[in-house]
Amino acid sequence: MAQEDTPPLLAVPPDKPQLSPLADKPDWNALKALASVLTRTEFQQAMTSVYADDSTQLPPWRVEGESLIVETSPGAPPVTVPFLNVDALRNKPVRYWRTPRELPPLQKGDPPLKGLHIALDPGHIGGNYAEMEERWLSMNPSNPHEAVREGSLVLQVARQLKPRLEALGAMVTFVREAEAPVTTQKPDDLRPVARQVLQDAGVPNPPESYANRYDERRIISVQWQAEKLFYRVSEIRARGRRVNQELKPDLVLCLHLNAEAWGDPAKPAFVPQNHLHLLVNGCYSPAELRHEDIRFEMLQRLFSRVHEVEIPMADTVADAMAQSTGLPAYVYNKSSARRVSGSPYVYARNLLANRLYQCPVLYFEPYVMNHEETYKRLLLGQYVGRTLMDGRLVSSPLEDYTRGVVRGLEEYYSSVRTKETP
């Protein structure tokens, strides 16, 4: 289930520029390496078609002549990024990942993913952390076996994907390999930050803890905010460091399942909706861009031209997922996401993972876990083929998920990779 970029904390005054939670201060000098990477027209087209939302507010930068002037820290001078002059040589973006055409050409008989490095990122944590993450659902709480845990289920999908993608020639690594966090921080370590977040939001004397997870007032407690910072921010930032500094893949697959609101969380009910969508990075709001780190990271992604790979790949993979799962397209009714292609399944949205990972990222959101048929099918676990459920044969959602991902990547890379001429 796609999470908002920052925890659902109380609003911070808009006139207070700041870093987002647990972010490092950007090295603004690094933007100088973006000089002569894009023309002015290319930059403006990318903003208009992918990275901007529908707001009319001015961003914290301006275009002057053939340069981008970017606001940095409060009180510090702006950074100037010269655009590519049409008569000059284009600089290559500094990046660790390779586009499909930068991979070694395929020889006759080579599998389509040969030489490609894919990192699998099973969303959330699962296991004993699932209830804290609010990614735990049971229609029969008295029976612990009748529960679905998103983090555990998508880890199963990742384990199924690995050998199948390797059979197509890919090198596959895991961002998370177990029902355990990647971050070494604990919720208690983050209590000082949680208190500061609450104070910035106008809660000067927050309660230290909450007694009931279903009590809406829990969000102003230090405990709840520290837990959110742990699994939604510290965890994703730790994964970002692993992806960018250790794994350095050509592609990350963020594996999730979706859910719809079910009213009273103490008495969950099934919903009629069941759907699919894929997310790429984009659709930044003015409020998000006020944060120094978010502004810096967005510009790094835009100038790396990552959207030129993400969007067509997402279109192909989404089509394969739709065929495999039989799910209709989800329709966003919020301004936090926007359509960026002809596919009804593909949206751009600014999430922490698909912004921090400095390579192409496909963020999957198939199935609604609290849809009755999907819930029952998920309880059956992973299996190949069909099994009897409520008097009819059904497939495993996890297997259909896996097949859709594999088929989509195989189709995309088969169509775009360079092949040696015999």
> In the prediction, which pLDDT does 88 show?
84
Task: Tell me the per-residue pLDDT of 265-318, one tens digit each, with 9 for 90 and over.
Answer: 667 889 999 999 999 999 999 999 999 999 999 999 999 999 999 999 999 999
The answer to whether 302 touches 370, Cβ cutoff 8 Å, is: no
Residue with tokens 């961002």: 175
Q: Which residues of 92-102 are buried (b: 16+ CB within 10 A; e: fewer)?
A: ebebebbebee
DSSP states of 254-284: EE--B----SSTTS---BS---EEEEES--B
pLDDT-wise least confident of 16-25, 32-41, 124-133, 203-212? 16-25
pLDDT tens-digit readout, 164-183: 999 999 999 999 999 999 99
Q: How confident is the model at residue 132 (pLDDT cuts 50, 70, 90)?
A: very high
What is the rounded average pLDDT of the residues 353-367?
A: 98
Q: What is the pLDDT of residues 373-402, one digit of tens each?
A: 999 999 998 999 999 999 999 999 999 999
Q: If phi over 0 gives left and psi between -120 and 50 gives alpha, with beta otherwise, what is residue 326?
A: left
What 3-state DSSP class applies to 176? coil
Mean pLDDT of the chain: 93
- Residue 6, pLDDT > 50, answer no
Q: What share of the chain is helix, strand, coil (3-state, %, to 5)?
A: 40, 15, 45
Q: Given this model, what pLDDT does residue 7 score?
A: 43
pLDDT(161) > 70? yes
pTM of structure: 0.95
**What pLDDT, on a 0 to 100 scale, did the predictor assign at position 261?**
85
Do residues 175 and 235 touch, judged by C-beta distance below 8 A?
A: no
Per-residue pLDDT, 267: 76
Q: According to the model, what pLDDT value does residue 80 have?
A: 97
Average pLDDT over residues 50-61: 94
For 199, how many CA atoms within 13 A lie in the half-sphere containing its CB? Answer: 8
Ranges of H-type helices in 201-251:
222-228, 235-241
Six token digits for residue 61: 């930068």
282 or 264, which is more confident? 282
Select the more confidently predicted residue: 201 or 61: 61
pLDDT at residue 8, rounded to an integer:
42
